[in-house]
Amino acid sequence: MLQLPFIRENKELTLAGLKKKRVANAGEAVEQVLTLDQQRRDTQKELDDVLAQSNAKAKEIGALMKSGQKEAADAAKAETAELKSRSKELEESLKALEQQVMDVLVTLPNLPHSSVPEGRSAEDNEVVLENGEKPVLGDDALPHWDLIKKYNIIDFELGIKITGAGFPVYKGKGARIQRALINFFLDKALEAGYLEVQPPILINKDSGFGTGQLPDKEGQMYFAAADELYLIPTAEVPITNLYRDVIVSEDQLPVKNVGYTPCFRREAGSWGAHVRGLNRLHQFDKVEIVQIRKPEESYQALEEMSLYVQGLLQELELPYRVLRLCGGDMGFTSALTYDMEVWSAAQQRWLEVSSVSNFETYQANRLKLRYKVEGKTQLLHTLNGSALALPRILASILENNQTPEGIRIPKVLVPYCGFEVIN
């Protein structure tokens, strides 16, 4: 959440950032929050004055009673009653204004970093680099949704029978390669100094608010109404919320956590080849890395996280590219995001497999996640990244490594899988 003092002191910078993120009616929202804030401050000042008068009258009443001036004391008591009534009205007005300010603030996304390019959509994202040679397949090459049928490793029809579309059943070598990828990603994260955690996959409303899923993305999450709990869209949410309402001691920084969870997203929907098979699911597995850093260290950490994810893709022998997302294609809470996309040889298109983002203080402000600097508390920066999401990684492995003898498993996964070929 944006900090109100920053908006107040940097109105034009705020408007420029919201414009880059293509926020509709940004000017109206900023004017509204500043007007409400001024009303709130005026009300607070009046309340402070009324309370000061009330305290002074209380002392005056005591002195009048001691000196035997009962009539004057009674008059002062009447004035005190009026002041108390007024202070109650002001307190109620102040509470209402604070809520109105909050209601507007939560509708404003994070401001983009200065390096974020202008643009409206994915077509305007900046290609930072491209790595690896794209494999050239024969005319008889199959997309992964046909390969999984050919080798009987994933069953979408069974998933529809059990649950519905977008909930595949992995079986045999399909299940084993899923487990292999998860263990490989976790082991690499541990080697890189991340602490593994296994968080809940259901969250409450406060957790959803803390990382910015609520009130912005209710329609994208599955909701268990009876218990008012949400199925997580990513492990980012429960892992980052481990530190909600926490003052982290400086010697505990940086915080580096990794966790594997299933993830659930309702918005998997549209039709077409770009969402066929594993390209977009309602339930999928993902390993997530989360860091909490001092503000002056966070952008160096973001670059390190980007290189870390790229290293995973290199070990999996997958051609990939890195994009810096433009303002119009960025997430609500992010200040800067790199997307990693792998090349799908049979589909002849790039598939997003990871987003690595710096949220600066946006989530920390919601979470009240702080540390002490020279005795004063200061907001920390939060970062996270997919390392990695499995479905499109698996789709690309299957497509890029298909041969007449079967699907070749990347060498780094063979010790985890226990087999070299799917045939």
- State pTM to two decimals: 0.93
Flag the least confident range among 55-69, 210-224, 266-280, 307-321: 266-280
Sheet with 406-408, side-by-side order of all strands: 402-403, 406-408, 421-422
CB hemisphere CA count around 423 (13 angstroms): 8
Q: Is residue 234 marked as binding?
A: yes
Separation CA 24–CA 8 (nearest Å):
20
Separation CA 4–CA 14 (nearest Å):
11
Q: For 296-318, what is the mean pLDDT?
A: 98
Q: For 85-108, what is the mean pLDDT?
A: 96
Is 328 exposed, middle or buried, given 0-12, 13-18 or 19+ CB atoms closer than 10 A? buried
Predicted confidence band at 273 (pLDDT cuts at 50, 70, 90)? low
Q: Is residue 384 marked as binding?
A: yes
How crowded is residue 192: how many other Cβ atoms within 10 Å of its Cβ? Answer: 16
Whether the pLDDT of residue 271 is over 60: the answer is no
Long-range contacts of 55-63 (CB under 8 A, 24+ apart): 57/83
Q: Is residue 266 marked as binding?
A: yes
Predicted confidence band at 57 (pLDDT cuts at 50, 70, 90)? confident
Long-range contacts of 35-43 (CB under 8 A, 24+ apart): 36/97, 36/100, 36/101, 36/104, 37/4, 37/8, 37/101, 39/97, 40/94, 40/97, 40/98, 40/101, 43/90, 43/93, 43/94, 43/97
Is 138 exposed, middle or buried, given 0-12, 13-18 or 19+ CB atoms closer than 10 A? exposed
Instruction: Note the pLDDT of residue 68.
Output: 81
Query: Is pLDDT larger for residue 415 or for residue 79?
Result: 415
Separation CA 306–CA 318 (nearest Å):
16
Whether the pLDDT of residue 148 is over 60: the answer is yes
Instruction: Note the pLDDT of residue 314.
Output: 98
Closest CA to 211 of 110, 113, 284, 122: 110
**E strand or H helix that includes residue 382:** strand 381-389
Domains of the chain and CATH, by start = 4-105 (1.10.287.40), 122-422 (3.30.930.10)
Flag the least confident range among 66-70, 317-321, 386-390: 66-70
Instruction: Note the pLDDT of residue 274.
Output: 64
Q: Is residue 353 marked as binding?
A: yes
Closest CA to 21 of 355, 302, 331: 331
The pLDDT > 70 percentage for the chain reads: 98
Instruction: Note the pLDDT of residue 26.
Output: 93
Are 383 and 301 a contacting pair, CB within 8 Å? yes
Separation CA 396–CA 340 (nearest Å):
13
Q: Is residue 267 marked as binding?
A: yes
How crowded is residue 83: how many other Cβ atoms within 10 Å of its Cβ? Answer: 20
Instruction: Note the pLDDT of residue 96.
Output: 97
**E strand or H helix that includes residue 188:** helix 173-191
Closest CA to 119 of 27, 23, 22, 24: 22
Closest CA to 254 of 194, 334, 306: 194
Query: Is pLDDT larger for residue 334 or for residue 57?
Result: 334
CA 86 to chain centre: 43
